[in-house]
Structure 1
Amino acid sequence: MFRHQGKNRTFRHNLRLASNLSLVAGIVNSVGVLTISTLTTNVTGHFAYFSKELIVGQYTKAIPHLLYIFFFFLGAFVSNSFIEIATINKKKYIHTAPMFLEIFLIVLVGFWNDWAFTATADANQIAYILLFSMGLQNALVTKISLSTVRTTHLTGLFTDLGIEISQYFFYRNHPNAIKLRKNIFLKLSIIIFFFAGCILGTLLFYQIGIKALLAAALLITIALTMDNLIFYYNFTRRKFRKKGTKNILNGFKKRTNE
């Protein structure tokens, strides 16, 4: 899910990545809105709010919206910087640092009230951290999927989905129709899992409050664990298969020499 890049990535890799992290983004989105009444997975609306406060002269109210935008950008910048550093140093696990940082930040906010902070006074700080973590996530999935998957907002997805469904009506017998169907299915999966995350986040919020974010951290942890288990399973299977093939060849050579 996380390890494969470029030609090594398959539709299945992108689907697993999209479904899991869209669920995470949905949880963060709903919990952010319910906790601090702020969008914490995208910055589109914050441009409008920033412009409004700027025009009416409410500069102190405009600054937080500008910082919301900046922290999402900063998260994307930091995420890709980690990836580039790992790539330069030829590290196998380029996704590890951004994912672990995202888990840490989401857990930090999940226990916000337990750190003796006041959620009302620190609403902006919560928004900054969550927007930064979503910038981390969006940049990571965009990078490793070659811009095929985006998980933190749906505006562009609905645009692409509308275009591709329209194309499918005209080119359903075209040789690329199979690829088009896969693209449509992938985008629908992202939308469905994002919505499911919003529902799950809302249900959990009314039960345990801001700690509902811990479910998002748990999902990322499970995704990383499963990715490692699948990798080592496939690695071990290939290793034993090569060993078995080698033994067969050695036995054949031995019988030939006799």
Structure 2
Amino acid sequence: MHARQTRAFRVARLAAAPKRTPETDRSLGILLAGIAGSLNVGGFLLLSQYTSHMTGHLSNIAGSLVFTNLMMLLDSLAAIGGFVTGAAVSAAMIAWGQTRSARLCYALPLGVQGALLAALPLMTALPDRAEHRMAIVIVCFVMGLQNATITRISGARIRTSHATGLITDMGIEIGRSLYHAAKPRAEVPYDGGKLWLYVQLVAAFIVGGVLGAIGHGMIGWAFAMPPGLMLITLAVWSPRHRTAFRGGKAVA
């Protein structure tokens, strides 16, 4: 038990380190999926919309143009603009970090995400309409920033801010595994490790959503502070440690 705890501690310590292993990618992905689930449910409770659902916002734009609903149009444009800007900022920060200071390349976007989450409660000081619009932009910016960061870190194997792709990939691996079980001689490739990863990410999103529904429902945006401070800690802590590799696993 102690060895398992020590190993988990090492992986957590290297979550934002510049050198990656599948284990550190998995751990960071699960953490971010939980945060995304919490923030997405919080956005629905406090803003009446899912803040990572860009497909829905594109549909809202089309509908608002037909039915001339200006407020819906502005909200959806703000959401998509925030998400795209967050993804672009993440890519720019990672590129800057890789070319100038590799030890910070992944810590920078995680730290910015954490700072924005921790600062979300400050929006309650704004007038209601300004708070609503600003919250949409900031939360969607965080979602885009997070999704682009984990996509770059994992080589596009992991996405966390929305589950449609995860569930699709899960279904693909389930289908392959079932076909392999029925016809093992057909040599249809499947990856049980990928399937387990997708199951963990979806489960983390759901658990995060449950906690977000409870926490955001009770104390509003203040519930975003603990995960924000957690990400800031990882961003400051992880790059300070070097990663060694033994048997494909991270060792500090």
Q: Same fold (TM over 0.5)?
A: yes
**What is the CA deviation profile of residues 125-179 of structure 1, one whole-angstrom value per residue up to 9, with x for unaligned ones?**
10100100111111010001000110000011111111110001122555954xx
- For the 8 Å contact 2:18–2:239, the answer to whether it is kept is no
- Displacement of 1:78 after TM fit? 0.6
- 2:59 partner letter: A
Shift, 1:60, TM fit = 4.6
Instruction: Name the amino acid aligned to 2:51.
Output: T
Return closer, same or farther for 1:189/1:71 CA change in 2, 3 Å cut-off: same
Residue 160 (structure 1) aligns with: 169
In structure 2, how many angstroms separate the alpha carbons of the residues matched to 1:26 and 1:61? 23
Post-superposition CA distance 1:6-44 (Å, at most 9, x none) = xx522x222201211111101111111111112212311
| Partner residue in 1 for 2:136 | 127
Map 1:131-150; keep pairs closer than 5 Å.
131-150=140-159
Q: 1:85 to 1:227 in 2, by over 3 A?
A: closer
User: CA deviation digits over 1:70-121, x for unaligned, max 9?
Assistant: 11011000100011111121422201221111112112212322xx213454
Give matches, 1:9-20, under 5 Å: 9-10=21-22, 12-20=23-31
Q: Which amino acid in 2 is paired with 1:221?
A: I
Q: Report which stretch shifted further, 86-95 or 183-192.
A: 86-95
Instruction: Confirm or deny: 8 A CA contact 2:18 2:106 kept in the other structure.
Output: no
Residue 89 of structure 1: which of 94, 100, 105 is its match?
Answer: 100
Which of 29, 40, 50 lines up with 1:29 in the alignment? 40
State the SS of the aligned residue for 2:51.
coil
Aligned to 2:178: 169
Q: Does 1:48 align with 2:59?
A: yes
Whole-angstrom distance in 2 between the partners of 1:210 and 1:93: 28
Query: Structure 1 stretches of 5 or more lacking a match?
Result: 236-258
Structure 1 residue 195, shift from structure 2 partner: 0.6
* TM-score of the aligned structures, taking structure 1 as reference length: 0.80
Aligned residue among 220, 233, 254 for 2:231: 220
2:16 maps to 1:2: yes
CA distance in 2, matches of 1:67, 1:118: 18
Corresponding residue for residue 38 of structure 1? 49
Structure 1 residues 83, 232: CA separation in 2 closer, same or farther (over 3 Å shift)? closer
Residues 117-126 or 140-149, more deviating: 117-126
What secondary structure, in the 3-state scheme, does the structure 2 residue paired with 1:127 have? helix
Indicate conservation of the 8 Å contact 1:27/1:216, yes or no.
no
- In the alignment, the residues of structure 2 paired with residue 176 and residue 94 of structure 1 have an alpha-carbon distance, to the nearest angstrom, of 34
2:249 aligned residue: none
Q: 1:165 corresponds to which letter in structure 2?
A: I
Bigger Rg, structure 1 or 2:
1
Contact 1:82 1:98 in 2 (8 A): yes
Matched with 1:188 is 199
Letter in 1 for 2:47: I
AA in 2 matched with 1:210: W
Name the SS for the 1:17 alignment partner. Answer: helix
Q: CA RMSD in A?
A: 2.3
Q: Unpaired segments of 5 or more residues in structure 2?
A: 1-14, 246-252
Are the equivalent residues in 1 in contact too, given 2:107–2:236 (CA < 8 A)?
no
The letter for the 2-side match of 1:17 is L
| Aligned equivalents of 2:81, 2:149: Cα separation in 1 | 17
Total equivalences in the alignment? 227
Question: 1:226 Cα shift?
Answer: 6.5
Q: Distance in 2 between matches of 1:33 and 1:188?
A: 24
Structure 1 residue 186: deviation in Å?
0.5
Partner SS for 2:156: coil
